[in-house]
């Protein structure tokens, strides 16, 4: 899922997955209210797996994380982290296309962290997610503080609402724009 102007490059994967980031964006603390054992979770734009790995631990043996990225090199970084571990069976790697996620699994939760702004056709994107999201499923959207204007964020959420999602106030994350969406 990309934007011709900007797709997060593989070259910054180290910045996306480091100890300092964990101090202010701890995956378990952020996702604890949403990710439970046994869930099937979709991490779109997973990058090097910063959230995917923690979510795989949170969903347990009976759960699954589908880590999706446009870059094969990002998926390889996730693969390198999990190979030979118990998480290898809990994380399914999937390379998406530029305009299609291409996942057919029914999911309980979708994480869209710092990536909605990169999607060209947001309406189609949200329609595709709606098709695979289970009836009580949720989408958690987080956009970066400076890169995405508040007005653009609101337009993106409206596009999701227009395809049938209900918008709920997202958690408070300092300077970030957040939303929780549920099927309407």
Contacts of 160 by beta carbon, 8 Å cutoff, 6+ apart: 122, 126, 139, 141, 167, 179, 181
| Closest by Cα among 159, 57, 161, 170 to 111 | 170
**pLDDT tens, position by position, 97-149:** 988 999 999 999 999 999 999 899 999 999 999 999 999 999 999 998 888 89
Which pLDDT score is estimated for 5?
A: 46
**pLDDT tens, position by position, 15-72:** 567 677 666 789 999 999 999 999 999 999 999 999 999 999 999 999 999 999 999 9
pTM: 0.90
Q: Are 93 and 56 in contact (CB under 8 A)?
A: no
Structure tokens at 148: 């995405």
Which pLDDT score is estimated for 175?
A: 84
Spell out the domains of the chain, with CATH numbers in brackets. Answer: 10-183 (3.40.50.150)
Q: First vs last Cα of the chain: how many Å apart?
A: 24
Which pLDDT score is estimated for 22?
A: 67
For residues 154-172, give the mean pLDDT.
95
Which pLDDT score is estimated for 3?
A: 38
**pLDDT higher than 90, residue 8:** no
Rounded Cα–Cα distance for residues 182 and 87 (Å): 28
Instruction: With residue 184 as reference, give the H or E element that holds it.
Output: none
Which pLDDT score is estimated for 27?
A: 94
């Amino acid at each position: 899922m990309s934007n011709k102007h900007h797709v997060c490059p593989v070259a910054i994967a180290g910045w996306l997955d480091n100890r300092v980031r964990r101090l202010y964006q701890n995956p378990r603390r952020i996702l604890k209210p949403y990710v439970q054992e046994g869930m099937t979770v979709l991490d779109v734009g997973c990058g090097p797996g910063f959230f995917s790995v923690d979510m795989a631990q949170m969903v347990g043996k009976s759960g699954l994380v589908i880590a999706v990225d446009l870059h094969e090199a990002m998926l390889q970084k996730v693969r390198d982290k999990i190979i030979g571990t118990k998480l290898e069976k809990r994380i399914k790697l999937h390379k998406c296309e530029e305009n299609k996620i291409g996942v057919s699994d029914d999911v309980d939760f979708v994480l869209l962290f710092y990536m909605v702004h990169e999607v060209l056709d947001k309406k189609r994107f949200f329609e595709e997610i709606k098709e695979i999201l289970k009836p009580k499923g949720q989408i958690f959207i987080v956009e970066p503080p400076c890169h995405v204007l508040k007005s653009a964020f609101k337009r993106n959420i409206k596009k999701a609402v227009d395809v049938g999602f209900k918008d709920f106030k997202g958690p408070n994350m300092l300077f970030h724009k957040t939303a929780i969406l549920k099927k309407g």
